Amino acid sequence: MRVVITGAFGFLGRRLAGTLLHTRTLRGTPITRLVLADRIVPPDSVVATDPLVEIVHGDLIDRLDDVFAQPVHAVFHLAAAVSAECEADFDLGMRANVDTTRALLDAARAQSAAGGPTAQVVFASSLAVYGSSPELSLPTVVGESSLPVPRSSYGTQKLICEQMIADCTRRGFLDGRVARLMTVAVRPGRPNAAASGFLSSIVREPLAGLPAVCPVRPDLRVALASPRRTVQGILRIAEAERGVGPGRLDGRAPVNLPALTVSVAEMLATLRQVAGDAVADLVTIAPDPAVEAIVASWPADFDSTRAAALGLEPDPSFLSVVQDYLADHPEASPPTRRL
């Protein structure tokens, strides 16, 4: 089985690759080749040295011939331009998100039409497909049957990709599966251009002794998932058998991954509980209307019935999210850690 991860050296891609290299199977079948595709390949990447790994370096839309040079059985499509990038540069978002996904789907379709395997394509979508508008407000609790009305270019681009994947699946070109990700926190590493990036930086940076800015009001409620739960959800959707009933993936509709709903104030209180006043006081509240307009348009409360039927659960608390982060990144643990 030849498995591809796009955006493989982003933080979720690295975690997913590490998990697959540990199990060395997908859907009970041994992985014979794990193709890691990304624009940037870190020179010190540990996963790149595994004999199972093949690296495809460059813009995905330009390297699909190499990705599909041998039969592809499964693709985890994580590569994307993020929310604030897409709002600042419409053409960048359309090329990176819509055009590249269309080209990937065309390559999978061509493989099937030529008598090759019908590729499974697992797409990382986003809660940003939802948004409240004056003429059509969101329900208090959002489920897959709630009408997506994106309030950002990023959300619109993700929704376009969802619909393309659903139609290609209906036509039998591929087996498309869509996981709508919650905001993933706490992300390690450096800040990115996502509008939601502050939800990691207001924890990550203070734990490292650095100041951080919170660009939204503290009472704003958000839907989060830890990196562990997010990767678990993506893999579960890939491995679920098609059909109706517990443990099966029904239909072509996207699955909203489980969400932990928490306010920014509660996040900051947890940081104070874990690391003390001196660390928590490194966070400054400085509302940015542009950032808040994007993040506040996303729902915070989700119906996770379909995800629960697949055996998926949300993180139990934000404290557990921070504990997971510190366990996975012990170098981030502050001297005054209270866990």
Catalytic annotation, residues: 154
List the one residue out of 22, 28, 20 whose CA is nearest residue 3: 20
Asked whether the beta carbons of 67 and 60 are under 8 A apart, the reply is yes
Closest CA to 13 of 159, 165, 124: 124
Say what angle helices 100-113 and 60-67 make with each other, to 10 degrees. 20
Token pair belonging to 48: 């790149």
Structure tokens at 51: 């004999």
How many Cα atoms occupy the beta-carbon half-sphere of 247 within 13 Å? 0
Strands 53-57 vs 33-38: parallel, antiparallel or unpaired: parallel
Q: Which residues contact 94 (CB under 8 A, 6 or more apart)?
A: 153, 157
Which residue do the tokens 């959300």 mark?
Answer: 155
Residue partners of 7: CB distance under 8 A and separation at least 6: 13, 37, 38, 77, 78, 79, 80
Asked whether the beta carbons of 7 and 80 are under 8 A apart, the reply is yes
